[in-house]
């Protein structure tokens, strides 16, 4: 039996990986290893065909394509497909604009829903993804002047649930450390304190089993281009629990959120369902690509995806600790796989130079300045052997660096 100091050990893990056949459905380069699928998932092979088909329909059917191919329904159709990946029954998820814009809409709606009770605080993790913090500040500044944003450490959220808190805004998985928050427990505690919770699922949907309905989640947003493989700039999505939907209001009241947009009436009347969250024409070609990414993601059993994600993280952390610690590299975030999402960040003082060196040897990951190297361990296409090879490449670069070998 090979040990985890040998490449053969990782080859054996790949040979028995129940997800190994799915990798072939991606259009991956032969000469590079894609370790940033948690930021931009690679293209599914089928996306080429789907986009070409969309182009042909656009050319041949022109404006009628919107009707002939049910293009206007795609935001809710794909929304339901994403819903199946995050445990939402149909009718509660819709694809919208970017995650940031979607977050703006839901945050405004949550504050509005809570305003009758005099609650006006947005309680959030001080290390939340910057766009989420900026949007919260922007909402407080420009839309709800009575609102304030309270930033506290993620581990202290529950201690700050006072009777002025309207909404708790959290990322399910921390974009830097990979720390996975306990959704159900936070929902329960927030609800007991009278607050709503708005989750950002950008780094968990498609890779961590989520059951938004069962966990009593109120509101959520997420990205289409990360683990859902929807492509660069793919639109994100919004979840509003059915129990909140009939009264849920959002401020960007465009015509496609209207109950009968093609009546062209002068006054706005929101759609009774999740379509009230939409605004204008959907980005059709991007939706087709997103649909392919979501369909590919949905082909895998999410329990197997999670099991491989935990195993990849465990192996990667063990390799980093045994082979890289002597160069001053540290693993960030929880070591326990149950408490992390599907990326691992390593701290290193010359992170940028090391990332450049790795890119030059074919390993593509991400830098989170100043000192973090973030490795996306997407179970649908990352192999165990990729991790062994990447750590071996890092070890070589770092050993050479002691002799001036890293790029300057
Ligand atoms: C956790 C998280 N939330 C939000 C966003 C922003 O997404 P968008 O560019 O679609 O607004 C990102 C982007 O990387 C993210 O990682």
C-alpha of residue 132 to centroid of ligand 1, in Å: 8
**Cα 380 from chain centroid (whole Å):** 15
Output the six-digit token pair for 72: 């206007």
φ, ψ of residue 379 to 5 degrees: the values are: -65, -20
Provide the pLDDT for residue 401: 73
List the chain residues with pLDDT less than 70. Answer: 402-408
**Which residues touch 141 (CB under 8 Å, ≥6 apart)?**
none
Protein residue closest via CA to atom 14 of ligand 1: 39
200 in active site: yes
Give residue 106 CA to ligand 1 midpoint distance, Å. 15
Angle of the 284-299 helix axis to the 74-86 helix axis, nearest 10: 30
Q: Ligand 1: which atom is nearest the Cα of residue 39?
A: 14
Which residue in the block uniquely carries the two structure tokens 């909140």?
A: 244
Q: What is the pLDDT of residue 408?
A: 46
Taking the C-alpha atoms of residue 41 and residue 289, their distance in angstroms, rounded to an integer, is 12
Task: Respond yes or no: is residue 348 known to be catalytic.
Answer: no
Catalytic one among 129, 227, 239, 384?
129
Q: Which of 50, 340, 374, 383 is catalytic?
A: 374
**What is the per-residue pLDDT for 100?**
98
The number of C-alpha atoms within 13 Å of 26 and in the hemisphere containing its C-beta is 29
Nearest CA to ligand 1 atom 5: 99
Whole-angstrom CA distances from 13 to 126, 242, 308, 317, 384 are 38, 42, 10, 16, 7
Closest atom of ligand 1 relative to the 100 alpha carbon: 11
For domain 70-299, which architecture applies? 3-Layer(aba) Sandwich (3.40)
In this prediction, residue 404 carries a pLDDT of: 57
What's the rounded Cα separation, in Å, for the pair 156 and 125? 9
Pocket, ligand 1, Cβ cutoff 6 A: 98-100, 129, 131-132, 171, 175, 200, 202-203, 223, 236
Query: What is the predicted pLDDT for the residue at 2?
Result: 85
Question: Which two three-digit tokens encode residue 69?
Answer: 């191919």
Contact 377, 344 (CB under 8 A): yes
225 noted as active-site residue:
yes
- Whole-number Å distance, alpha carbon 38 to ligand 1 midpoint, is 11
- Active-site residue identified among 34, 175, 225, 227: 225
- What does the CA dihedral 278, 274, 102, 229 come to, rounded to 10 degrees? -100
Q: Give the per-residue pLDDT at 178.
A: 97
Domain-wise residue ranges, the chain: 7-45+301-401, 70-299
Beta strands in 16-126 (DSSP E): 33-34, 93-95, 121-125
Q: Give Cα separations from 104 to 100, 109, 166, 275, 290 (angstroms).
A: 6, 9, 15, 16, 21
Using alpha carbons, list the distances in angstroms from residue 214 to 93, 209, 211: 15, 12, 5
CB contact set of 99 (below 8 Å; sequence gap of 6+)? 131, 200, 202, 221, 222, 223, 236
**Is-above-0.75 flag for pTM?**
yes
Q: Which of 101, 103, 127, 131 to mutate to test the pocket of ligand 1 (most atoms within 8 A of CB)?
A: 131
Distance CA 364, CA 358 (A): 7
Instruction: Choose, from 17, 200, 271, 386, the residue flagged as catalytic.
Output: 200
Give dist(CA 165, CA 119) in Å, integer. 6
* pLDDT in the model for residue 402: 65
386 CA distance to ligand 1 centroid (A)? Answer: 26
Class of domain 7-45+301-401: alpha beta
Residue of 119, 226, 306, 340 marked catalytic: 226
Q: What is the pLDDT of residues 252-264, one digit of tens each?
A: 999 999 999 999 9
How far from the centroid of its chain's Cα atoms is residue 154's Cα? 18
CA pair distance 39, 142, nearest whole angstrom: 30
- Answer whether 10's CB lies under 8 Å from 315's CB: yes
Question: How far apart, in Å, do the first and last CA atoms of the chain sit?
Answer: 41
Q: How many CB atoms lie within 10 A of CB 304?
A: 14
Cα 41 to middle of ligand 1, angstroms: 13
User: Measured in whole angstroms, how far is the alpha carbon of residue 320 from the centre of its chain?
Assistant: 25
State how far the Cα of 278 lies from the Cα of 258, in Å rounded to an integer: 9
């Amino acid at each position: 039996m090979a040990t985890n100091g040998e490449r053969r050990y990782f080859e054996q893990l790949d040979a028995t990986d129940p997800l190994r056949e799915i990798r072939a459905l991606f259009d991956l380069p032969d000469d590079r290893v894609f370790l940033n699928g948690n930021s931009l998932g690679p293209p599914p092979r089928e996306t080429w065909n789907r986009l070409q088909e969309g182009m042909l329909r656009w050319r041949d059917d022109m404006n009628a394509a919107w009707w002939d191919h049910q293009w206007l329904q795609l935001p809710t159709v794909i929304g339901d497909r994403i819903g199946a990946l995050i445990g939402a029954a149909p009718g509660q998820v819709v694809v919208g604009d970017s995650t940031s814009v979607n977050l703006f809409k839901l945050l405004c709606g949550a504050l509005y829903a809570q305003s009758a009770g005099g609650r006006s605080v947005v309680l959030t993790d001080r290390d939340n993804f910057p766009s989420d913090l900026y949007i919260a500040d922007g909402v407080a500044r420009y839309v709800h002047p009575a609102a304030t944003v309270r930033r506290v450490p993620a581990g202290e959220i529950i201690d700050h649930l006072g009777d002025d808190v309207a909404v708790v805004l959290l990322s399910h998985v921390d974009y830097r450390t990979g720390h996975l928050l306990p959704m159900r427990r936070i929902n329960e505690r927030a609800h007991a304190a009278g607050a709503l919770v708005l989750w950002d699922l950008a780094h968990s949907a498609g890779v961590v089993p989520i059951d938004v309905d069962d966990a009593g989640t109120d509101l959520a947003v997420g990205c289409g281009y990360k683990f859902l493989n929807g492509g660069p700039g793919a639109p994100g999505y919004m979840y509003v629990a059915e129990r909140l939907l009939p009264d849920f209001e959002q401020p960007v009241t465009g015509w496609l959120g209207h109950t009968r947009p093609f009546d062209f009436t002068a006054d706005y009347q929101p759609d009774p369902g999740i379509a009230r969250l939409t605004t204008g024409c959907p980005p059709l070609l991007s939706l087709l690509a997103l649909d392919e990414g979501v369909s590919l993601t949905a082909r895998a059993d999410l329990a197997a995806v999670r099991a491989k994600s935990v195993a990849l993280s465990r192996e990667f952390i063990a390799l980093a600790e045994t082979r890289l610690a002597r160069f001053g590299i540290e693993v960030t975030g929880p070591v326990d796989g149950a408490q992390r999402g599907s990326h691992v960040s390593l701290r290193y003082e010359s992170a940028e130079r090391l990332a450049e060196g790795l890119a030059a040897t074919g390993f593509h990951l991400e830098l989170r300045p100043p000192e973090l190297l973030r490795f996306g361990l997407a179970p649908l296409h990352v192999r165990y052997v990729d991790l062994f090879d990447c750590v071996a490449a890092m070890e070589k670069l770092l050993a050479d660096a002691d002799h001036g070998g890293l790029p300057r």
